[in-house]
């Protein structure tokens, strides 16, 4: 399965090129985006982030001191703005209380410790925690999302019944632990699904399907 996953990765990278994820200028912006994008189109998150920058709010201390109600108004375009404002404030308060508001302070903390701390916060679930670990802190964690499960199911690699931890284990146990690889792989799966694994019942035009015919690869690939 390791060779198969690496083959898929090579095909996707060849077809779509490097994705340059995460689309954020700083670790803080990536963390903020990870919370704002929960069940939300990225386009709407961009508007919210733009508003935050315009209000000089892409700053830990500024967010910490800003009112929850006022912050909700700033991030309105990202949807679920009341609950997301609370979640942002909760996460920022964690950074301030536990690390003096210094993201560099997270660098020396073991991955699993950090993950447990994130998950203990209300509003940070497995995908958000792992997105922050991988894309803001460059830790070798594989991010699983709705696209990942859809990809595995539509390509017959799994039946789609696995939970988050099981899907994550499928990738991490069959791939070298490399943050750059995990970064690009997840981004490529998202890119693939956004145009091919979406509603198409049989993944029409899927670059991986094309390969099956020409290279006589394994079934469903």
Partner DNA sequence: CACCAGGCAAGTA
Partner DNA sequence: TACTTGCATGGT
Q: What residues have CB less than 8 Å from 17, skipping those under 6 apart?
A: none
Residue 47 engages DNA in binding (rule: CB under 7 A): yes
Instruction: Give, as ranges, the residues between 149 and 168 that touch DNA (CB under 7 A).
Output: none
Residue with tokens 């988050």: 164
Strands (E), 64-154: none
- Written as six digits, the tokens of 23 are 């689309």
DSSP assignment of 58-97 equals -SHHHHHHS-HHHHHHHTGGGS-HHHHHHHHHHHHHHHHH
Nearest to 109 by CA among 95, 122, 121: 95
The CA R_g of the chain, rounded to the nearest whole Å, is: 19
Hey, how many other C-beta atoms are within 10 angstroms of the C-beta on 207?
A: 16
Residue 183 engages DNA in binding (rule: CB under 7 A): no
Residue 51 engages DNA in binding (rule: CB under 7 A): no
- Written as six digits, the tokens of 127 are 């995908």
Q: Using CB under 7 A, pick the residue from 18, 125, 160, 218 that binds DNA.
A: 125
Residue 128 engages DNA in binding (rule: CB under 7 A): yes
Q: Using CB under 7 A, pick the residue from 25, 26, 41, 70 that binds DNA.
A: 41
Residue 200 engages DNA in binding (rule: CB under 7 A): no
Contact region with DNA (CB under 7 A), list: 21-29, 60-68, 109-117, 204-212: 21-29
Number of residues lying near DNA (CB under 7 A) = 40
Contact region with DNA (CB under 7 A), list: 43-51, 151-159, 177-185, 211-219: 43-51
Instruction: Give, as ranges, the residues between 61 and 90 that touch DNA (CB under 7 A).
Output: 72, 76-77, 79-84
* Residue with Cβ nearer DNA (82 or 162): 82
In angstroms, rounded to a whole number, what is the distance separating the alpha carbons of residues 129 and 125?
A: 6
Residue 136 engages DNA in binding (rule: CB under 7 A): no
Q: Using CB under 7 A, pick the residue from 20, 43, 69, 214 that binds DNA.
A: 43
Residue 54 engages DNA in binding (rule: CB under 7 A): no
* Residue with Cβ nearer DNA (83 or 215): 83
Which run of H or of E encompasses 52?
helix 42-54
Q: Do you find a cis peptide bond into 209, omega within 30 degrees of 0? A: no
Burial of 173: CB neighbours in 10 Å, binned 0-12, 13-18, 19+: exposed
* Residue with Cβ nearer DNA (35 or 211): 35
Query: Which residues here bind DNA, judged by CB under 7 A?
Result: 21-23, 33-34, 37-44, 47, 72, 76-77, 79-84, 121-129, 131, 135, 145-147, 190, 194, 198
């Amino acid at each position: 399965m390791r060779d198969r996953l690496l083959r898929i990765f090579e095909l996707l990278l060849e077809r779509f090129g490097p994705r340059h994820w995460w689309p954020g200028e700083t670790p803080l912006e990536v963390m903020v985006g990870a919370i704002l994008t929960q069940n939300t189109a990225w386009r709407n998150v961009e508007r919210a982030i733009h508003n935050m920058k315009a209000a000089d709010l892409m700053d830990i201390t500024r967010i910490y001191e800003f009112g929850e109600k006022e912050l909700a108004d700033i991030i309105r375009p990202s949807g679920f703005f009341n609950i997301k404002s609370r979640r942002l404030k909760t996460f920022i308060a964690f950074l301030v209380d536990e690390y003096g508001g210094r993201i560099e302070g997270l660098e020396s903390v073991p991955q699993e410790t950090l993950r447990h701390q994130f998950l203990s916060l209300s509003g940070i679930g497995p995908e958000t925690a792992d997105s922050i670990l991988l894309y803001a802190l460059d830790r070798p964690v594989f991010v699983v999302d709705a696209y990942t499960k859809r990809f595995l199911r539509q390509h017959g690699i799994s039946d789609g019944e696995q939970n988050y931890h099981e899907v994550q284990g499928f990738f991490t146990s069959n791939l070298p632990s490399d943050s750059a690889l995990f970064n690009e792989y997840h981004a490529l799966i998202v890119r693939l699904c956004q145009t091919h694994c979406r509603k198409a019942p049989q993944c029409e035009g899927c670059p991986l399907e094309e390969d099956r015919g020409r290279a006589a690869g394994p079934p469903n690939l």
